[in-house]
């Protein structure tokens, strides 16, 4: 039998050591180990006493056979259902992470109210706020009449026992997993061991009862869901709720989903009466666009199956530093370096004495290489002072050779641009899939030199060097 004594658990990744050390070997974090009593064995697991484990014999199945599609619990909040892959799956566990104050509790209360009003049993357990506070928020959002069952509790055994009473709930929200503690785990609440133990108990309840469980998780400064990363591995889906403090809109993004795609986003706007859905995010991201300034290009991007137009802003300014600055918000740093290198090598641009700032307007995070062309156009425009034609969208991937390569779903991108009143699209010359361009005039480029020449021709005289 394993020796039981104090162990040291990394509070960042959950790795366990028998001796204290300054740095966690598993994740490299310093001073993250803290002493915890060893987790008790999972109750019901046999064989812990050293005897030969005696198991129940179960039937094995083949790959082929009848399996019903997981029936979904549709919340009715379209943007939420889109990210979960068409609704909550009974018996599944979902972890939703996000910065404090971003609106997790608000979103989940709205989902609870919608389901409860549709006649399902919904339980909302808050470990952070009193029932009074939760009630007050619901009242502000005009949801007081929804028959959501409310509790302010933190002990998982009590919660599971309470949930066992009455009919099986369709949805249980635990806000948040970091506040939960289990009597079966001998360490202080808030520690990794406790969070893991509590999550285990709650997940076991969800799997055995068939209720859908949503766990709220806090996010640390570097964007990880605080506490053990292992909780992320234990659950069926991980969603993150993001947003910029200065902007009213919030983006719900799938990071892992056993029952759907992870590239879909849901867009919400925080209003005085809770979160409202944004079904046309492009219009939102393009609002307040300054069309008369150089350094801005509209990128026709895709988020999952949905096209999203967003403005890419660049500022290229002479530097006063020995090593010029490169700062990026909303895009990959390494991708910017690559585009800059291509523009210098193949486009003939001199950027070594310039600071470069790149920003994706509205706080969206763009992950697509298809944004290369829009980024390049914004950079060249800012450097030369040439204002890009205002009614144009850009998309295309730039290869290291300077070639502009076709990207997927061009037709959907063009349709969205046309819908929003754009007149032209600057796109790669290859790729057949564009269709008739939806009334847009299509301008195709095969190499960055063509793009640079095109933009430089629009530059004001003083800059034509
Ligand atoms: P909350 O859901 O409590 O955030 P989280 O659970 O992620 O910590 O949201 C709190 C913020 O949302 C708070 O700063 C106020 C704002 N808010 C509104 O603007 N309108 C509303 O109707 C509600 C309920 C909250
Ligand atoms: Mg909250």
Closest C-alpha among 245, 243, 266 to residue 254: 266
Helix (H, G, I), strand (E, B) or coil at 196: helix
Q: State whether the beta carbon of 439 lies less than 6 angstroms from ligand 1.
A: no
Residue of higher predicted confidence among 292 and 348:
348
Nearest 5°: phi and psi at 335?
Answer: -70, -40
Q: Is the predicted pLDDT of residue 458 greater than 70, yes or no?
A: yes
**Amino acid 465: pLDDT:** 44
| Strands lying side by side in the sheet with 306-318 | 326-329, 354-360, 306-318, 296-303, 392-394, 424-428, 441-445
Confidence of residue 432 (pLDDT cuts 50, 70, 90): low
- pLDDT tens digit string along 218-236? 876 665 666 667 788 899 9
β-partners of residue 429 are: none
CA 332 to ligand 2 centroid distance, Å? 30
Q: State whether the beta carbon of 141 lies less than 6 angstroms from ligand 1.
A: yes
Q: How far apart are CA 182 and CA 42, in angstroms?
A: 12
**Helix 448-456 vs helix 333-347: crossing angle, to nearest 10:** 80
- pLDDT tens digit string along 30-84? 888 888 766 555 555 554 455 566 788 888 888 887 766 668 999 989 999 999 9
Q: State whether the beta carbon of 248 lies less than 6 angstroms from ligand 1.
A: no
CA 105 to ligand 2 centroid distance, Å? 4
**Amino acid 461: pLDDT:** 64
Cis peptide before 111 (omega within 30 of 0): no
Whose CA is closest to atom 2 on ligand 1?
A: 103
Q: Is the predicted pLDDT of residue 164 greater than 60, yes or no?
A: yes
Q: What is the mean pLDDT of the chain?
A: 87
Q: How far apart are CA 336 and CA 450, in angstroms?
A: 19
In this prediction, residues 186-195 reach a mean pLDDT of 82
**Amino acid 340: pLDDT:** 95
**Contact between 352 and 316 (Cβ < 8 Å):** no
Q: How far apart are CA 276 and CA 271, in angstroms?
A: 7
- For the purposes of burial, counting CB atoms within 10 Å of the CB of 333, is it exposed (0-12), middle (13-18) or buried (19 or more)? exposed
**Contact between 425 and 414 (Cβ < 8 Å):** yes
**Contact between 187 and 213 (Cβ < 8 Å):** no
Residue 223 φ/ψ region, left for φ over 0, alpha for ψ in the -120 to 50 degree band, beta for the rest: left
**Helix 448-456 vs helix 372-384: crossing angle, to nearest 10:** 30
In this prediction, residues 139-163 reach a mean pLDDT of 93
Q: State whether the beta carbon of 101 lies less than 6 angstroms from ligand 1.
A: yes
**Amino acid 4: pLDDT:** 63
* Distance (Å) of CA 30 to CA 18, 20, 22, 335, 370: 17, 12, 6, 30, 38
**Which of these ranges, 305-309, 363-367, 430-434, has the smallest mean pLDDT?**
430-434
Going from N- to C-terminal start, the domains of the chain cover: 7-36, 78-279, 284-464
Closest C-alpha among 171, 126, 105, 117 to residue 145: 117
Token pair of 181, please? 């503690």
Testing ligand 1's pocket by substitution, the residue of 106, 108, 139, 217 carrying the most ligand atoms inside 8 A of its CB is 106
Nearest 5°: phi and psi at 120?
Answer: -100, 155
H/E run at residue 139: helix 131-140
Q: State whether the beta carbon of 98 lies less than 6 angstroms from ligand 1.
A: yes
Q: State whether the beta carbon of 127 lies less than 6 angstroms from ligand 1.
A: no
Q: How far apart are CA 308 and CA 253, in angstroms?
A: 14
In this prediction, residues 166-178 reach a mean pLDDT of 92
Whose CA is closest to atom 1 on ligand 1?
A: 103
Q: Of 315-319, 359-363, 426-430, which one has max mean pLDDT?
A: 315-319
DSSP 121: -
Confidence of residue 463 (pLDDT cuts 50, 70, 90): very low
Q: Is the predicted pLDDT of residue 433 greater than 80, yes or no?
A: no
In this prediction, residues 81-100 reach a mean pLDDT of 91
CA 460 to ligand 2 centroid distance, Å? 52
Whose CA is closest to atom 21 on ligand 1?
A: 274
**Contact between 295 and 314 (Cβ < 8 Å):** yes
Furthest-apart CA pair in the chain: how many Å? Answer: 88
CA 439 to ligand 1 centroid distance, Å? 42
CA 269 to ligand 1 centroid distance, Å? 11
Q: State whether the beta carbon of 105 lies less than 6 angstroms from ligand 1.
A: yes
CA 446 to ligand 1 centroid distance, Å? 48
Neighbours of 256 (CB within 10 A): 14
Q: What is the atom index within ligand 1 of the atom nearest the CA of 106?
A: 2
Q: State whether the beta carbon of 143 lies less than 6 angstroms from ligand 1.
A: no
- pLDDT tens digit string along 351-384? 989 999 999 987 788 989 999 999 999 999 999 9
β-partners of residue 156 are: none
Testing ligand 1's pocket by substitution, the residue of 144, 270, 276 carrying the most ligand atoms inside 8 A of its CB is 270
Q: Is the predicted pLDDT of residue 402 greater than 90, yes or no?
A: yes
**Which of these ranges, 54-58, 146-150, 449-453, has the smallest mean pLDDT?**
54-58
Whose CA is closest to atom 13 on ligand 1?
A: 101
**Amino acid 282: pLDDT:** 86
In this prediction, residues 248-260 reach a mean pLDDT of 87
Ion ligand 2 neighbours (CB, 5 A) are 105
Q: Is the predicted pLDDT of residue 406 greater than 60, yes or no?
A: yes
Confidence of residue 204 (pLDDT cuts 50, 70, 90): very high
Q: Is the predicted pLDDT of residue 3 greater than 70, yes or no?
A: no
- For the purposes of burial, counting CB atoms within 10 Å of the CB of 10, is it exposed (0-12), middle (13-18) or buried (19 or more)? buried
Q: How far apart are CA 367 and CA 350, in angstroms?
A: 26
Q: State whether the beta carbon of 197 lies less than 6 angstroms from ligand 1.
A: no
Q: Is the predicted pLDDT of residue 15 greater than 60, yes or no?
A: yes
Q: How far apart are CA 240 and CA 262, in angstroms?
A: 11
- Choosing among 3.40.50.11740, 3.40.50.1220, 3.40.50.300, 3.30.70.120, the CATH entry for 78-279 is 3.40.50.300
Q: State whether the beta carbon of 103 lies less than 6 angstroms from ligand 1.
A: yes
Whose CA is closest to atom 14 on ligand 1?
A: 101
Helix (H, G, I), strand (E, B) or coil at 37: strand
CATH number of 284-464: 3.30.230.10
Q: State whether the beta carbon of 108 lies less than 6 angstroms from ligand 1.
A: no
């Amino acid at each position: 039998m394993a020796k039981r004594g104090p162990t040291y658990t990394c509070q960042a990744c959950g790795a366990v050591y028998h001796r204290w050390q300054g740095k966690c070997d598993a994740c490299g974090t310093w001073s993250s180990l803290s002493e915890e009593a060893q987790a008790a064995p999972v109750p019901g697991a046999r064989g812990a006493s050293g005897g030969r484990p005696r198991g129940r014999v179960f039937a094995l199945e083949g790959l082929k056979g009848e399996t019903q599609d997981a029936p979904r619990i549709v919340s009715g909040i379209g943007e939420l259902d889109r990210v979960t892959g068409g609704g909550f799956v009974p018996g599944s566990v979902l972890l939703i992470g996000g910065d404090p104050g971003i609106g997790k509790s608000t979103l989940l209360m709205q989902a609870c109210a919608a389901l409860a009003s549709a006649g399902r049993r919904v339980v909302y357990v808050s470990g952070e706020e009193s029932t009074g506070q939760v009630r007050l928020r619901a009242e502000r959002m005009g949801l007081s009449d929804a028959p959501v069952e409310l509790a302010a509790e933190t002990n998982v055994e009590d919660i599971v026992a309470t949930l066992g009473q009455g009919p099986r709930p369709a949805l249980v929200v635990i806000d948040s997993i970091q506040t939960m503690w289990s009597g079966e785990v001998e360490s202080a609440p808030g520690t990794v061991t406790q969070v893991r133990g509590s999550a285990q108990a709650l997940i076991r309840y969800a799997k055995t009862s068939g209720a859908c469980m949503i766990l709220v998780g806090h996010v640390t400064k570097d964007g990880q869901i605080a506490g053990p990363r292992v909780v992320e591995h234990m659950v069926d889906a991980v969603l993150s709720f993001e947003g910029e403090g200065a902007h009213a809109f919030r983006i719900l993004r799938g990071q892992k989903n056993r029952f759907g795609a992870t590239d879909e986003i849901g867009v919400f706007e925080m209003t005085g009466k809770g979160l409202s859905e944004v079904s046309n995010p492009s219009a939102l991201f393009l609002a307040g666009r300054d069309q008369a300034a150089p350094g801005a290009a509209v990128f026709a991007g895709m988020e999952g199956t949905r096209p999203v137009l967003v403005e890419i802003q660049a500022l290229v300014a002479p530097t006063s530093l020995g090593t010029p600055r490169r700062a990026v918000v909303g895009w990959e740093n390494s991708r910017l370096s690559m585009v800059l290198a291509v523009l210098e090598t193949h486009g003939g641009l001199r950027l070594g004495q310039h600071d470069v700032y790149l920003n994706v307007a509205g706080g969206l995070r763009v992950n697509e290489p298809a944004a290369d062309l829009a980024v390049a156009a914004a950079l060249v425009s800012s450097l030369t002072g040439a204002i890009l034609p205002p009614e144009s969208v850009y998309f295309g991937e730039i290869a290291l050779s300077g070639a502009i390569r076709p990207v997927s779903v061009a037709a959907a991108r063009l349709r969205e641009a046309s819908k929003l009143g754009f007149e032209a699209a600057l796109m790669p010359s290859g790729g057949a899939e564009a269709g008739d361009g939806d009334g847009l005039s299509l301008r195709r480029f095969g190499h960055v030199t063509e793009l640079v020449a095109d933009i430089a021709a629009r530059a004001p005289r003083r800059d034509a060097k």
